[in-house]
Every structure is written in structure tokens, then in C-alpha cells.
Amino acid sequence: VHYHNPLLISGRHDSSGIRLHYTPSLRRYDAGIMELGLVYTPIMAIPPKQPIFYLTGYCTSKCTQAALPPGGIYIFASQLHTHLAGRGVRTVLVRGGVELEVVQDDQHFSAEYQPIRVLRKMVNALQGDVLITKCTYNTEDRSKPTVGGFGIMEEMCVNYIHYYPRTQLELCKSHVDPGFLQKYFNFINRFNGNDQCVCGEVGVTEQFSQLHWDGFTVEVLDSLYNTAPISMHCNQSIARLFPGEWEKQPVPEVTSTLAKPRFPCEGGATPTS
């Protein structure tokens, strides 16, 4: 549950609750919830005045190899999540560089409607698979960059997958390597004649806010996010990383993508009887 009351208006009440169901028959498997997508950090930002801007989070093969059981897991439900600028979220399963299955896809996403959706078909994610979560944003009504974070005017890109059997892997997310982001700031700084402060004493949010957001600045940031090494959060349920090297990891390569689905309501589609 998210509460947003920045003006501290009094007298607001909430009647939300939770219903628990008990059974005398213990199930064979325990279910778990895993976070996919992007780490909540201002390192991942969306430029202002953008009709479309994409951010992508990765659950890499290295993490699934280390954390999933030999038979993998079965994903049976999914809850997509962004804040107010989010317009679409898509998670796809990749094996050997090939997109195999869409876990969940909503390109008409609204932050006002975020249900847990039971999948029509369970998805079996195996050791060594990659799970890629891509979010679409619209910031046409914003004059300043939108950074990642917990606030409602900040952004997230998350898919909470529900699966079995439960493992110790609770969080499999990424963000761009901070050092490469700093190289971006330094490059833009030099390109614009050093009129933006990118000194070490200034935080990432402030550095983003000082940029002149022309088409070139936006294009270079988009390229950075798509190609620069990433930092992986391959976290156990006890908030510790699984053993391994998780910094400066390569972006997973996708050599073959799924065909875009066609729907009868789209132009040019053959009507169905």
C-alpha cells in the first residue's frame, strides 16, 4: 500500500485490509514472490518532455544459475509496478539469447490499476535463463528529469512474480554501472563547454537536473542505458547477495526476439467470425 499525502491533509482514513485463507492440507510446494526489474535508485532516470522513454532491468543468467533449483521455478502470477509516468511494462524470458516466452505484458499500464494477474500459462524459468523487464514512460508533462526512487513523483520498474517452489532468491534486479553514468555526465559536460557542474560533491539527482535536455543529451543517455555494463542485485531473502561477482556485468545479449502479436482490432488484421 502506498500513501501519498505531501500536503499533510488531516482527516484522511484508509479501510484497506488483508484476508488470510487457511487450509488443514499442507501443500507440496511453498510459493514465493521475487522482484524483477530495476533497483530503486536515481541512477536510472527519465528525461523530461519525452513522449516515450524506455528503461530496462535484467535478471541475468549468472544470477538464475546461482539461485534457482535444477528444475527451475514455475511462474504462475505477476504484478507489474511503476509510478505515475509508467505507460507499459513487459517481462520476457530469454534462453540462450532467444526470447522464448512473455511472462507479462501490459502496454496500456496505469499506476491506478495494479492487480496481481494469474498467468494463462505458467512459465518455467530454468537455471541460466534471463528475465528482462522493460518499462515505457511518458514525461511530456514534466519539466525536470524523473529519477528512480520510492516517491510517487520518482519512478520504479518492477514485476513482482509469484512462483513455486520458493527459493532464497528474493530480488533479481539491475542498474547501470555508476562509473559509466559518471562518464556520461563528464562527456555531456565537455560537449556543452563545461557549463554543467558534474563535480563529485554533487549527487546524481542534482547532476541530472543541471543537464540541458536536448535531443543529443537524451539520445546519449538512452544509448548508455542500453549498452553500458550493469550492477546486479542478486539478493537472498536475508538481504545478502548470492556469492559471485555482480559489478560491471555485461548487458544480456538477445539475438532473436518474439514476433509482435497481432490482434483482430488492429488495422489490417483479418476479421474473425
Q: Which residues pair with 99 in a beta bridge?
A: 94
Q: Which residues pair with 113 in a beta bridge?
A: 110
Rg (CA), the chain: 20
Tell me what pLDDT residue 7 has. 87
Tell me what pLDDT residue 273 has. 43
- pTM score of the predicted model: 0.90
Indicate the fold that domain 32-236 takes in CATH: Jelly Rolls (2.60.120)
pLDDT tens for residues 182-195? 999 999 988 887 76
Residue ranges of the domains in the chain?
32-236
Helix axes 215-227, 178-191, angle to 10 degrees: 160
Please report the DSSP string for 115-176 in residue order.
PPEEEEEEEEE-TT-EEEEEEEE--TT-SS-EEBSSSTTSB--EEEEEEES--SEEEEEEEE
CA 50 to chain centre: 18
Please report the DSSP string for the chain in residue order.
-----TT--SS------------SS--SS--EEEEEEE-S-TTSEE-TT-S-EEEEEEE-HHHHHHHS-TT-EEEEEEEEE--TTEEEEEEEEEETTEEEEEEEEETT-BTTB-PPEEEEEEEEE-TT-EEEEEEEE--TT-SS-EEBSSSTTSB--EEEEEEES--SEEEEEEEE-HHHHHHHHHHHHHHTTS-S---TTS-HHHHHHTS---HHHHHHHHHHHHHS-EEEEEEETTS-BPSS--SSBPPPP--B-PPPP--TTSTTPPPP-
* Regions of the chain short of the pLDDT cut 70: 195-201, 266-273
Tell me what pLDDT residue 190 has. 87
**How, if at all, do strands 53-59 and 130-137 pair?**
antiparallel
Tell me what pLDDT residue 270 has. 55
Q: Answer yes or no: are the C-beta atoms of 214 and 193 closer than 8 Å.
A: no
